[in-house]
Amino acid sequence: MKKLLILLFGILFIFSSCLKNAEKENPAPSLPEGNQAISLLGEALYSSQPSEGDLEKYDSAKLEYESNSGSADALIWYGRRTAYLGKYREAIKIYTEGINKFPEDARMYRHRGHRYISIREFDNAIQDFEHAVTLIQGKENEIEPDGRPNARNIPVSTLHGNIWYHLGLAYYLKNDMENALKAYQNDILTAQNDDNLASATHWLYMILRRLGREEEANKVLEPIHADMDIIENMAYHKLCLFYKREIPLDFLTDPEFSSIMNDAVAYGLGNWYFYNGSRDKAKEIFEKILSTKSWASFGFIAAEVDFARDFKQ
């Protein structure tokens, strides 16, 4: 028996040595210095130079956390201000520290999951948001303060809504439309204002069209109307009205409107062409989105996912 154990340990030692040597000869690929992510098209993604204002707010948030490291709020803002600089991997480390300190605080998973989406780690994002869902069960919803306030300085999103919204997005990016649909159906139940309703409806409509359920897709548009009190999500609102055929395609492609069109709206339009069978036009719009530098926006990431899956040669 002793000889057998010695033999087994010897085999394990030789195997371990060979494995270590193989790792030395073929080390795991590492990201270039300063690189935040590798796109699904194989491109290294770097963040642009942050503004002086964002740097000042980051310095302030960092000092606040260093002087009050036991505060979950201070850690959240330190992570958010870090992410606003484009330092998504550093922000993920901060939120991981937050999870270790405050494991029952759903906000830590909500914000870390968001940044996992930014760096294209969708499975990690889903895992974080699914756990966040368990942490908010039976708890009262709360308004989530804005890092970059809107023109009316009225926060329009909530913790529960953001968890469901981003979970739905992560599933969508994985092309898991059934789970994406369930998440946005829960998201819309948390809607407390017209902005929430417009954004959730937009994603629900796109998902149902991708699933080939056009009748259901049209039905979810019924609460959308032209006189809604939209504070932030004007573009999503306009897209929903376009889906309802209450505004023409020419409006979305008009130079005056398209000049303020963000990536999410451009993606919505490209996606509309895609599920209506105009693949060449969809490809053209996706390529236009991918030619910009806003690689962390959700519209860009969605266009990248679709392009990699459906158009990459």
Predicted pLDDT at 34: 76
Q: Give residue-wise pLDDT tens across range 139-173.
A: 999 999 998 898 899 999 999 999 999 999 999 99
Of 214 and 255, more confident = 214
For residue range 248-279, what is the model confidence (pLDDT) as tens digits? 988 887 665 554 567 888 899 999 999 999 99
Summarised one tens digit per residue, pLDDT across range 170-191 is 999 999 999 999 999 999 999 9
Query: Residue 11: is its pLDDT beyond 50?
Result: no
Average pLDDT over residues 207-215: 98
pLDDT (0 to 100) of residue 24: 36
Average pLDDT value for the chain: 89
Q: What pTM value is reported for the model?
A: 0.89
Tell me which of 45-49, 81-85, 97-101, 170-174 is least confident. 45-49
More reliable by pLDDT, 52 or 19: 52
Topology (CATH) of 52-139+157-175: 1.25.40
pLDDT tops 50 at residue 2 = no
HEC-encoded secondary structure of the chain: CHHHHHHHHHHHHHHHHHHHHHHHHCCCCCCCCCCCEECCCCCEECCCCCCHHHHHHHHHHHHHHHHCCCCHHHHHHHHHHHHHCCCHHHHHHHHHHHHHHCCCCHHHHHHHHHHHHHCCCHHHHHHHHHHHHHHHCCCCCCECCCCCCCCCCCCCCEHHHHHHHHHHHHHHHCCCHHHHHHHHHHHHHCCCCHHHHHHHHHHHHHHHHHCCCHHHHHHHCCCCCCCCCCCCCHHHHHHHHHHCCCCCHHHHHCHHHHCCCCHHHHHHHHHHHHHCCCHHHHHHHHHHHHCCCCCCCHHHHHHHHHHHHHCCC
